[in-house]
Structures are given as C-alpha cells and as structure tokens.
Amino acid sequence: MNELLIKLSECIEFGKINMASPYPPQMKGQEGADEITRRALEEGVPPQDILSNGLMPGMERIGVKFRENKVFVPQVLMSAKAMSTAMLHLKPHFLSGAAKQKGTFIIGTVLGDLHDIGKNLVGMMVEGNGYKVIDLGTDVGSEKFIESVRQNPEAVVGLSALLTTTMVNMEKITREIKEAMPGTLVTIGGAPVNNDFCSKIGADNYSPDPQGVVEYLNSKIS
C-alpha cells in the first residue's frame, strides 16, 4: 500500500493535525494529516483510497483504543481534528462524485438536552469511518429529525441524551420518526440509557461507545 496513506493513518490515530502542531510530541516537526492529504492528492492517489486506506484505518484504531480505555476524549478529539483537516481537502471530490461515502448518518441530542460532547464524538467518529454525517445539534425535536430523514431517506438516525429526564423523549422521537418514515433505523446512546431501554422504546440499536455505532452502521449500510 501507498507509504503516504500508512503515514496518514498514523497521523489520524495519534492526532497529528499539521506540521506546526506540537502534538503528539513524538511526531513534532513532521508532516501532519493536512500536508500528507494534500500531497497524496497531488501525486494522484484516488480520493477514495485516501478515505478508505488512510483516514478510516486511523479512525478505526483510535476508536478501538477508546473503547478499550487506552485513550480518552482529548486524544479522540485530536484524532477527529486531524481527520476533519484531511476531509477539507477531500470534500470537493465527494461533491463531484469522485469519492463516495458509505451512507448517511443523522445525529442529534434529543429535545430538552443540551449536552453535546458524546454526540460530537460519535459524529466525528462516524464521519471518519467514511459516512456523511448530518449533525442537527442539541435540543432537537421529532420534526427536525423527520424533515432530515425525508431529505435523506436511506439515512440511519442517532439519538443522544445525557439526562434521565430527557432520555424519555427518545421514546417519543423514535416512535414519531418510525411513524413518519417507516423502516428508518434508530440507534441510541448516552450515559443513562442501555440495551433494555433501547428495546423498551422500540429503537433498533444501543451502543455504549462511538465505535459501536460505526460497527452498527457498517453492518446495516455498507
């Protein structure tokens, strides 16, 4: 495989954004995700390869480390930042059709809840694994989710909640999405929810960590 892509996947895994970035110390002064992606495109590496063989393996490795408690939120955010820097160079190619994303994921924190750290992490991780992510933000009600599903009928919806008082809104939102757009898959997550709650409210999946959402999407979409 292309040396550049191996290097790129390491930049993603360790959160090396660009040459100027001081983090991680062991990669100080080296090229980061920004420079390597640009160079790969210049050298004619297909955008799809950059996504599939550079960005995605790096995101997957950091996702697994996060699940195994080897790294925590700050490290994952650095990886996600490196990834989104690389994505800036790839975006035009997605628009032109030269590279394809695996599918679409709509995510939001449910009505009444303003917590977004977990939701953002999941969004970034899913995007880094080759999906188009539509982030509806926090405090999102059924209508906004449904409208977004109408525009992206194949999309899977992710609901996030941190509060015991707002997790109950997941039930209503899940039901209304499924009434309006039957067949839409809904996956849930957040500190107070679990598998039992997921089956109780009729959602399709619960994941305790972002990598779990990626694996669920991979099993359903790609």
Partner 1 sequence: MHGLSLIKQAIRLKPVSRIPWVPFVGVHAGYLIGVDAEEYLKSSKYMIAGLSKAIELYKPDGIPVSFDLQLEAEILGCKLKWAKENPPAVVSHPLVEGTLLSSLKIPEAHEGRIPLVLETTRTLRASHPEIALYGLITGPFTLALHLLGTDIFMKLFEDPEYVMEVMNFCTDVAVKYSEMLIDAGCDVIAVVDPMTSQIDPLSFETFVTPFASRIFDFVRQKQKLSSFFVCGHAQQNIEAMCDCRPDNISIDENIPLEFVKEIALAKNISFGGNMKLTVVLLMGDADDAKQDALACMDSGGNIGFILAPGCDLPMQTPVENIQAVSELVFSQYLQDIARNLDEKESKLDIMNMKDYGQSDKVIVDIITLDSESCAPCQYMVEAVKRIAPHFDGVVEWREHPIKKMEAVSFMSSMMVKNIPTICIDGKIVFVSQIPPQSQLIEAIQKRINEKLKLRIKSKRSEILILGETEKECAELTKKVKRAIAELGKNITVTVVADKAQMNSYGIKKGPAVVTVNYKMKSSATVPSLDVIKEWVKEI
**What does the binding site for partner 1 look like in residue numbers (CB under 8 A)?**
15, 21-24, 69, 71-75, 77-78, 81, 112, 114-117, 120, 163-165, 167, 191-192, 194
**Torsion (CA) 132, 130, 95, 45 in degrees, nearest 10:** 170
Smallest gap from residue 73 Cβ to partner 1 (A): 4
Smallest gap from residue 172 Cβ to partner 1 (A): 16
Smallest gap from residue 67 Cβ to partner 1 (A): 11
Smallest gap from residue 136 Cβ to partner 1 (A): 17
- CB of 74 or CB of 153, closer to partner 1: 74
Stretch (H or E) spanning 218: helix 210-220
Smallest gap from residue 101 Cβ to partner 1 (A): 25
- Exposure string (b/e) for 135-165, b if CB count within 10 Å is 16 or more? bbebbbbbebbbebbeebeebbbbbbbbbee
- CB of 21 or CB of 211, closer to partner 1: 21
Q: Is the peptide bond before 57 cis (omega within 30 degrees of 0)?
A: no
- CB of 12 or CB of 78, closer to partner 1: 78
Report the distance separating Cα 178 and Cα 204, nearest Å. 11
Q: Are the beta carbons of 128 and 83 closer than 8 angstroms?
A: yes
- CB of 194 or CB of 218, closer to partner 1: 194
**Edge-to-edge strand list for the sheet holding 104-109:** 132-135, 104-109, 156-160, 186-189, 205-206
- CB of 71 or CB of 99, closer to partner 1: 71
